[in-house]
Structure 1
C-alpha cells in the first residue's frame, strides 16, 4: 500500500509553480464536466419544449427545487474536498481512506432523508411556488422519479470532489461527460417513445436523468476503489463516522447552505413571475438555462480554485491565495462582459430554439438583455465563496450569498413586480449581483491580508480525530 500513498501525497503539488497555470490546469477540464452536468438540464428543456409550453412551464417550476437539492450534493462535495485538500500532504493512507468512505456513507444517509421529505412535500411546495392544480400534476410525474434518483446524483458528486481534491480534474470531468452522453441518448427515447418503449413525456425526462446518473455512480465508485484506493468496503464504526462527519460538515453544511441560497431565491422569484403567465415562467426557465451555459467557464474556475486555495492555505502560502483572487477577478470581468454583449445580441434567437411561442421568447430575451450585465459581479461573488470554503471559512461564504439573495435580490424583485413589471424583476438580479460583488471583493482581500495561523484554522483540528480502525 506504500505506492498509493506516495502517489496521493504527490498530488499536494499546487503549492509550487505558476498559480495561473494551476488554475488553468484544474479549471479547463472542468469546463467539459460542468457543461455535461448543465447539458442534462438543457437537453431536458429542449426535448420537453417539443411537447408544448405547458410541459415546459412545468419543468421550469422544478428547476429551482432541483438546483436546491443539487446544491446539497455540491455542499457535501465541497466539504469533503476542502478537508482532503488541506490534509493531502500530511494525512496517512488510512486516514484518507477513512474520511473518503465515511463521507460517501454520510452522503447516502443524508440523501435518504431528503428523498422522504421531498416525496411528501411535492404538492404543497409547488402550490406555494404558484403552480396551479393541473400544472402540479405534471410536476408530480416528474419529481417522484427525480427524487427516487437522488442518490445517483449526490454520491457521485461527492466522489468527484474527492478525486479533484487529489489534484486530478480530468477524471471527474470524464465521469460527468459520460452521464451527459447517456442522458442525451436516453431523453428522446423515453420522452417520445421508440419501438417497444412507450412515450413517457416529462416522466421520461426524469427517468433518463436517473439512469444516466446511476451509470455515473458505478463508474465513480470504481475509480475511487481501483485507481485511487480510497474506499474501505466495510460499514464504518460509529466513532469514526462521527469524527469524519464533524470534519466534513463543518464546511459542508455552510457550503450547502451557500449553494442552496441562489436556487431558493430563484424559486421565490419564480413565484413572483408566475402571475405574469405560463409563457413568462417558461421564458424565465429557458433564460436561466441559457445563463447557466454562459457561466460554465466561471463555474469551472470556482472548481479549480478549491484545490489550489485549499492546498496553499494548508501550507501557509497565503501570498499565492492572493494571486488566485487577482486572476479570478480579471477573468470574471473579461468573460462576463463578453457574454453580456453576445446574449444581448442573440438572446432571442437562442430562446427560440427551446420554444417558438412569441411570448416565451420575448420573456427570455428580456431576461438575457438585462441580467448578463451583472455576470462579472456574480462570477466574482462565487469565486470568493469558493476561496472562503477552501480556506475553511464557510460561514463567511454563506453570509455573502445570503446578503445577495435575500438582502437584495428577493426584496428588490418583489418591489419591482408590484411597481414596475417583469423587467424590474429581472433587473433586481443585476443590481443585487453588482452590489454583492463589491462586498465579496472586500472580503476576499481581507481573507488574504489577515491570514490566521495554522493552529487557528477553522476545522483543521477536526480531521486529526479521523483515524484508521
Structure 2
C-alpha cells in the first residue's frame, strides 16, 4: 500500500491524533447531512419533520451495520500491517472486504425496502407521515450499497494510518449531499419540488459519486487491484473479517435499534414529541463527533500495536481516549445547558417541537461522556479481536439499561422521564465499559471499582483479568 503509515512509532497520543483529527472533519460532514435534512425538512412542513424523526433511528441502525463490517476490515488490515504481512495479500483482503460488503448491503436494502411499510407502521407512523417515509426510503435503499462498500474501502485507508483519505471522501460526499438537498426538496428553475423524496434523491446521487471517486483513487494509489489472482484466499479473508465484523455490526446496530424502540415510546406522547426528539438526536449526533472520531482513531492504533505485540501502547492509547471523553463530555454538557434553546429554535423552525428538543439537549448531554467511553472501548475491543465482548456490552446497555429505563421514565414522568432514563443508562454503561476493557487486557490497572468486577467478569467467561496477548 503506497504511503502506508505505521502507528507504532513516536508518542501514542500523536498517533491517535493523526488518525482521529481528520476523522472529526469527515464524520462531522456525514452527520451534518442528517442535521441539514432536518433543517430543510422542518421548513417543508411539520409532517416532513415528523417523518424524518421516524426514519432517523432506522437508517442509523442500518448505517451502523456497515460501520461494524468496516470494523472487521480495519481489524484484519491493521493487525496484518502490525505483523508485517505482504502488501499483495492486503490488497486481496481489500477486494474481499468490498465484495462481502456489496453482497450484504444489496440483501439488506431489498429486505428493508419490502418491510418498510410494516416496520414504520409498527413504530407508530401513519397517514401522510408514513407516505413521506416510504417515498424517502425508496431512494435511500438504492444508495445503501454504495455507502457500505465505500465504508469498507475507507476502513482500509484508516487501518493504514491514512485517515485523511477517508475523511476527505466523507466530507466531499456530505457537501454534495447538502448542496443537492434544498434544490431537490424545494425545487429550483426547471427542477420540481420533490419534498422529502428529494432528500433521498440527494443521498443517492452523492453516494454514487463519492464511491466512484474513491474507487478510482484507490486503484491509482495501489490499494485496490483486480488482477493477480484476486480471489486467492477469499474464504480465509472473509472468515477473518466476519469473525470481528459480524459481532461488531450487531454491536453498532444495537444502539440505534434502541433509539428506534425509544422513538416508539415517544410516539405515545404525540408526533410533535417525535419531531422534537428527532431534531434533538440530530444535534446530539453532530455534537458527539469528536467522540466518534476517537472511536475511529483508536481502532487502527490498538490494531497495529496489538499486531506488533506492543500491548502497553494499546492500553495507553485507550487511556488517553477515555480521559478525552471525560473532559469533552463535561464541557459540551455545560455548553448545551446554555445554548439548547437557540439550537432547538433553529432545528425546529420555531414549531411546537422546539420545547421537546431543548429539554432533551439540556438533560441528556450529561451522559455523553459515558457514551464516549463505551464506543471507544468497543472500537478498541474490536481491534483487539474481542468483538463478542463489545457486542455483549452494547446489548447490555440497550436491553438491560436504555430501553427499560426510558420506558419506565415515560410511564412515570412522560418525556422528561424518558430523558433521565437515557442519561442514567449512559453513565452506567460508561462504567461497565471500563470494567470490560480491563477484563480483556486493555484497561487501567489498580483502580478497585474497575479491577474487582473485571476480574470477576473475566473469570466467568473463562479468561484472565489482564491477558497479555493471543
Give the TM bin, normalised by the shorter chain: over 0.9
1:251 matched residue in structure 2? 244
Aligned to 1:66: 59
Answer yes or no: is the 8 Å Cα contact 1:336–1:376 preserved in 2: yes
Q: Partner of 1:136 in structure 2?
A: 130
Map Cα deviations across residues 333-388 of structure 1 (whole Å, 9 max, x no partner). 11001110111111121011122345311001110111001111110011110110
CA contact (8 A) 2:441 2:468 kept: no
Q: Deviations over 1:69-114 (max 9, x none)?
A: 1011111111001100000142212211111001111111111111
Quick one: distance in 1 between partners of 2:441 and 2:8? 15
Q: How high is the TM-score relative to the length of structure 2?
A: 0.92
SS at match of 2:10: coil
Partner of 1:214: 208
- Give the one of 98, 101, 126 matched to 1:104: 98
Structure 2: distance between partners of 1:451 and 1:311: 19
2: CA distance between counterparts of 1:241 and 1:184?
Answer: 38
SS state at 2:225 partner: coil
1:356 equivalenced with 2:349 (yes/no): yes
Q: Contact 1:318–1:451 at 8 Å: present in 2 too?
A: no
User: Quick one: which of 164, 173, 184 aligns to 2:167?
Assistant: 173
**Distance (Å, rounded) in 2 between the aligned partners of 1:358 and 1:430:** 25
Deviation, structure 1 residue 177: 0.8
Question: Does residue 205 of structure 1 match 2:234?
Answer: no
- Structure-1 separation of matches of 2:267 and 2:228: 49
Q: What corresponds to 2:222 in structure 1?
A: 228
**Structure 1 residue corresponding to 2:29, chosen from 31, 36, 43:** 36
- 1:461 is aligned to none
Give 1:56's aligned residue: 49
CA distance in 2, matches of 1:325, 1:76: 21
- Contact 1:96 1:230 survives alignment (8 Å): no
CA distance in 2, matches of 1:281, 1:226: 46
Give the whole-Å Cα distance in 2 for the aligned partners of 1:171 and 1:242.
Answer: 28
The reply to whether residue 163 of structure 1 matches residue 164 of structure 2 is no
Residue aligning to 2:69: 76
Q: Structure 2: how far apart are the matches of 1:280 and 1:228?
A: 50
CA contact (8 A) 1:274 1:280 kept: yes
Answer yes or no: is the 8 Å Cα contact 1:321–1:448 preserved in 2: no
Structure 1 260/215 Cα, relative in aligned 2: closer, same or farther at 3 Å? same
Structure 2 partner of 1:459: none
CA pair 413-445 structure 1, distance change in 2 beyond 3 A? same
Q: Hey, what does 1:153 align to over in structure 2?
A: 147
Distance in structure 2 (CA, Å) of the matches to 1:194 and 1:156 = 30
Task: State the Cα distance separating 1:452 from its structure 2 match.
Answer: 4.5
Which of 256, 278, 287 aligns to 1:294? It is 287
Separation in 1, partners of 2:178, 2:379: 30
TM-superposed CA distance for 1:316, in Å, is 1.3
Deviation at 1:242, TM superposition (A): 2.1
Aligned positions of 1:267-286 closer than 5 A: 267-286=260-279
Structure 1 residues 303-338: Cα deviation after superposition (integer angstroms, max 9, x where no partner): 110100000011111111121122111111110011
Matched, 1:334 2:327: yes
Matched, 1:321 2:314: yes
Q: What is the DSSP-based 3-state SS (H/G/I as helix, E as strand, rest coil) of the residue aligned with 2:441? A: helix
Q: How much does 1:241 deviate?
A: 2.8
Once residues 226 and 468 of structure 2 are traced to their aligned partners in structure 1, the CA distance between those partners, rounded to angstroms, is 33
SS of the residue corresponding to residue 293 of structure 2 reads helix
Q: Helix, strand or coil: the match of 2:352?
A: helix
Alpha-carbon spacing, 1:104–1:451, altered in 2? closer, same or farther (3 Å): farther
Q: Tell me the residue number matched to 1:466.
A: none
SS in 1 for 2:145: helix
TM-aligned CA deviation for residue 260 of structure 1: 0.3
Tell me, yes or no, if the aligned pair for 1:72 and 1:259 is still in contact at 8 Å: yes
Q: Number of paired residues?
A: 447
CA displacement at 1:136 relative to structure 2: 1.1
What is the alpha-carbon distance in structure 1 between the residues aligned to residue 205 and residue 229 of structure 2?
A: 26
Render the CA deviation track for 1:389-411: whole Å, top value 9, x for unaligned: 01000000011111111110101
In 2, Cα distance between equivalents of 1:360 and 1:284: 8
**Equivalent residue for 1:429, pick from 422, 428, 431:** 422
Query: How big is the shift at 1:451?
Result: 5.5
- 2:15 is the alignment partner of 1:22: yes
Does the 8 A contact of 1:287 with 1:367 survive in 2? yes
Q: Give the unaligned 5+ runs of structure 2.
A: 443-464
